[in-house]
Amino acid sequence: MEANRTTNDYVKYVHEYLKNYYPYVETAVWPDEISGAPAIKIIVLDKQRGVPAKIKLFVPPEQNWHFSLTSVKNRINKQFGYTVLL
């Protein structure tokens, strides 16, 4: 139960960050699992180019959420093959 709440909170945290700081991308974030461990799934659409990126990430401990945003940005940029998120 606690892990599910944490996953849902992390989904909201990542989605709000992407929505507030990157208005030129459209995002969808929801809870998921990777090998039974809590994870999130992110779909990002670059509005200017119409190119989507899909990634899955493990949910980190809550004290590392801020630092995990760097990983989110790097994974999204890698999927696009160009820099979308600075």
Compute the distance between CA of residue 1 and CA of residue 71 in angstroms, rounded to an integer.
Answer: 26
pLDDT at 36: 85
pTM, 2 dp? 0.78
pLDDT at 1: 44
Report the Cα–Cα distance between both ends of the chain, in Å, rounded: 35
Q: Assess if CATH 1.10.238 describes domain 2-77.
A: no
Ranges of each domain in the chain: 2-77
Residue segments in the chain with a per-residue pLDDT below the cut of 50:
1
Contact 60, 14 (CB under 8 A): no
